[in-house]
Amino acid sequence: MQNPRYALLSGLYAVALCHDVRGLYGDAVPPPRVRHELRGCEPRGELARAVTQAVVEGTAPLGTLDVETHDGAWRLAAVRVVGARGDVVTVESAGAPRRLYGAASAIPCGNLVRVSPEPPAELTHGEVTFLGCSPRGALRDALAAGAQEFETVRYQVLDRMAAPQHEAEAGRVTGVGASRHHHGLVDLTVAFPRSGLLPRQHREVWDLFHGYAPPSEPGTWRRFGGTARAEWLGQAARRAHRAPRPAPGSAHELDGRGITDEDAFLCALGEAVLGPGHAFPTGSPRALGEELSGCTLIWRHADIARACLGVTPLLVVPRPATFQEWVDGLRAEGVRVVLD
């Protein structure tokens, strides 16, 4: 198939290449809160602190928790400790745990046991249909044998060179039928987790970066916000190696209008130095200072970033750098920063 837009994968191998998708982009449903018991666990570090707080107050926020059990390592997200007795700690997390392959800081526990009932499938999953697909490998063999379902697959969003722009879990293939709009191909229906639906602006970002050349219009990143802007930044950083490196002694003018958070700063800086549709693949003050060492950065409307960078949200870990930390980090690596 020429220029597929999506791929379905089982293990390491693509089992279908597809032209389009229906139902993937929309408002994600937060995963249900799930309770687990950590049995045979010796709390330490942040978990020990949260257990102590939960004993006193009844519940305590924890964040991300990695545990190592007899059957491997697992990560739980958005965790709250809701109880503890003996060597059993009860936690509540956003969705089911995700398997890890190597977690040096995981808390050793005997078992991780789910105590919440499984919610009905219709509340957690919906149908996403990949359109105009060419099955291959194990999926093609399964369909030829008359199988009605197929194992869980992942999906990739592909650019014009068939490089993945995004990858995530999809679900079980639950239906197959002749494609109405793509002769000789099939449409594949997947039982897709509602929590995995993607914001519609993500598709627009991927379409803009679909070809070899990045978007050429200055300021295009400004139309996106939230996770879509973060996705823009990631796609732009992938293309940094194609842009000419800043030459020592060169001067670059940074338009500070709209720099209200770190992603906006990195998008604007990448465009100012590397050109539209490009961003530096690193995001710390000193590392960017190394990239720009010997250059002059003229920061227009710097008062906007001074009031916004590193101010909110205060509880993000790691804490975003403040305006002064960015300026100091750049200057420490030999960048002449002129604030206007």
The crossing angle, in degrees rounded to 10, of helices 226-238 and 200-208 is 20
Asked if pLDDT for residue 315 goes beyond 70, the answer is: no
Is the distance from CB of 37 to CB of 88 less than 8 angstroms?
A: yes
- With residue 66 as reference, give the H or E element that holds it: strand 60-69
Asked if pLDDT for residue 87 goes beyond 80, the answer is: yes
Mean pLDDT in residue range 61-79: 91
Q: What's the length of the chain?
A: 340
Asked if pLDDT for residue 273 goes beyond 70, the answer is: yes
Mean pLDDT in residue range 85-95: 92
Compute CA 35 distance to the chain's CA centroid, rounded to the nearest angstrom: 24
Is the distance from CB of 119 to CB of 9 less than 8 angstroms?
A: no
pLDDT of residue 204: 97
pTM given for the model: 0.81
CA atoms within 13 A on the CB side of 107: 22
Q: Which range is least confidently modeled, 140-149, 209-218, 249-258?
A: 140-149
Cβ neighbours, 10 Å, residue 16: 28
- Please, which pLDDT band fits residue 312 given cuts at 50, 70 and 90? low
Mean pLDDT in residue range 23-39: 93
pLDDT of residue 314: 56
Mean pLDDT in residue range 61-77: 91
The amino acid occupying position 70 is H
pLDDT of residue 197: 96
Mean pLDDT in residue range 310-330: 82
pLDDT of residue 42: 84
Cβ neighbours, 10 Å, residue 75: 16
Asked if pLDDT for residue 90 goes beyond 60, the answer is: yes
- Please, which pLDDT band fits residue 72 given cuts at 50, 70 and 90? confident
Round to whole Å and give the CA distance between 194 and 49.
33
Q: What is the pLDDT of residues 193-229, one digit of tens each?
A: 999 999 999 999 999 999 999 999 999 999 999 999 9
Mean pLDDT taken over the chain: 92
Is the distance from CB of 263 to CB of 272 less than 8 angstroms?
A: no
| DSSP letters spanning 112-171 | EEE-SPPPPHHHHEEEEEEEEEEE-HHHHHHHHTT-S-EEEEEEEEE-TTS-EEEEEEEE
Mean pLDDT in residue range 270-282: 94
- Percentage of the chain exceeding pLDDT 90: 76
pLDDT of residue 283: 82
Phi-psi region of 228 (alpha: psi -120 to 50; beta: other; left: phi over 0): alpha
- Please, which pLDDT band fits residue 99 given cuts at 50, 70 and 90? confident
pLDDT of residue 259: 95
Name residues whose C-beta falls within 8 Å of residue 134's C-beta, 6 or more positions apart in sequence. Answer: 1, 4, 16, 17, 18, 185, 186
Check residues 280 and 72 and name the one with the higher pLDDT: 280
Asked if pLDDT for residue 63 goes beyond 80, the answer is: yes
Q: What is the pLDDT of residues 114-124, one digit of tens each?
A: 999 988 888 88
Q: What is the pLDDT of residues 148-193, one digit of tens each?
A: 788 899 999 999 999 999 999 999 999 999 999 899 999 999 999 9
- Please, which pLDDT band fits residue 313 given cuts at 50, 70 and 90? low
Q: Which range is least confidently modeled, 32-41, 126-135, 136-145, 309-318?
A: 309-318
CA atoms within 13 A on the CB side of 86: 4
- Please, which pLDDT band fits residue 262 given cuts at 50, 70 and 90? very high
